[in-house]
Amino acid sequence: VQLQASGGGLVQAGSSLRLSCVVSGRALSSLATAWFRQGQGKEREFVAAVSRSGDGHFAESMKGRVTISRDIAKNTVYLQMNSLKPEDTAIYYCAARTLAVVPNSRSYDYWGQGTLVTVSS
């Protein structure tokens, strides 16, 4: 299973950004796919995930500002982020596992390379 994240960039506070994660080697319906982020000097933290059946899961701190969706035909998961803040600056990683969604990054078997999101004030 391979994951390719993209969509990061430099944006101003208050902007929106959509990240994409293209998954190859296994159907999305057999994977829980998650987004994590890691800011400089910080621990990797859970952002959102979509289960094998398509249910969304969100970190409490992100609820109301992010949505997660997937396109089964394209085997791609999207993370839509709105009202971005400077503290959202981080490398965003997509990850997958064959079991249920959990917010623990150590439980994910497959990882993409990350995409950098920088939010300026």
The pLDDT score that the predictor gives to residue 4 is 98
Mean pLDDT of all residues belonging to the chain: 97
Query: How far is it between the farthest Cα atoms of the chain?
Result: 40
pLDDT digits (tens, 9 = 90+) for 4-56: 999 999 999 999 999 999 999 999 999 999 999 999 999 999 999 999 999 99
The pLDDT score that the predictor gives to residue 103 is 96
The pLDDT score that the predictor gives to residue 108 is 98
Do residues 82 and 16 make contact, with C-beta atoms less than 8 angstroms apart? yes
- The mean per-residue pLDDT over the stretch 61-84 comes to 96
